[in-house]
Amino acid sequence: MTPVPFSWHNAVQSGNLLAIEAEDFPLKGDWALIESADASGGAYLQFNGKNHYAAAQDAHAITKQINVPQAGTYVVKWYMRQPSDAEGDKSNDIWIGFPDAIQKGNGQTITGFHKYFGRSKGRFGMNGQIEAHHKHSWLNVEFPKPGTYTMQVSGRSEFLQVDQFLLYRELNADDVLELLEVGR
């Protein structure tokens, strides 16, 4: 029997890779949709509000229902970019939360919104870590059963640009990059 080639489309359908375009989030607050050929879906979101480093603000919290076809623990990454004139670690983070799933960071279960950050200038880059309990780690989200779950983000630093969120399981980052190139 000849194996079926593994493609980006198959990965999404099988639940190994969930690609969520940032522009699919319903907007509110100081989020803006920016059309751009640089972005995977032809557009990205930019947070045009003030910095909100102390806590997530309801006025700038956007929510998306995501369909998770297979239960399991997924690594969370994103394609983001800082404006080219942003200082080192400026314009590079949001608040993120999955209120109806099990969030894990630093080997611990965590709840609520947490700082999620990355660094990339000039082009959208895949990265992303969470800061929980003053330590940095990957964000893992466990979805106990297939179904619809809630993903929330809230503006944290001004002028951050978000293209896409990636949730993957049973893959490594190189596999994800390869699948994304096939799908583009």
Dihedral of the CA atoms 10, 15, 17, 22 (nearest 10)? Answer: 110
**pLDDT tens digits, one per residue of 34-77:** 999 999 989 999 999 999 999 999 999 999 999 999 999 999 99
**pLDDT tens digits, one per residue of 111-147:** 999 999 999 998 999 999 999 878 899 999 999 999 9
- Hey, what domains does the chain have and what are their CATH numbers? 18-183 (2.60.120.260)
* Helix or strand holding residue 181 (H, E): helix 173-183
- pLDDT-derived band at 14, boundaries 50, 70, 90: low
Dig out the tokens for 19 from the structure: 């690609």
Please compute the mean of the pLDDT values over residues 94-114 and round it to a whole number.
95
- Which pTM value belongs to this model? 0.89
- pLDDT-derived band at 3, boundaries 50, 70, 90: very low
Counting DSSP H helices and E strands in the chain, the numbers are: 2, 15
**pLDDT tens digits, one per residue of 150-160:** 999 999 999 99
Beta bridge mates, 5: none
Q: From CA 127, how far away is CA 23, in angstroms rounded? A: 18
Which pLDDT does position 13 carry in this prediction? 53
Residue 168, SS3 per DSSP: strand
Q: Per 3-state DSSP, what percentage of the chain is helix, strand, and coil (rounded to 5)?
A: 15, 45, 40
Residue 174, SS3 per DSSP: helix
Q: Can you give the three-state secondary structure of 58-117, one letter per residue?
A: HHHEEEEEEEECCCEEEEEEEEEEECCCCCCCCCCEEEEECCCCEEEECCEEECCCEEEE
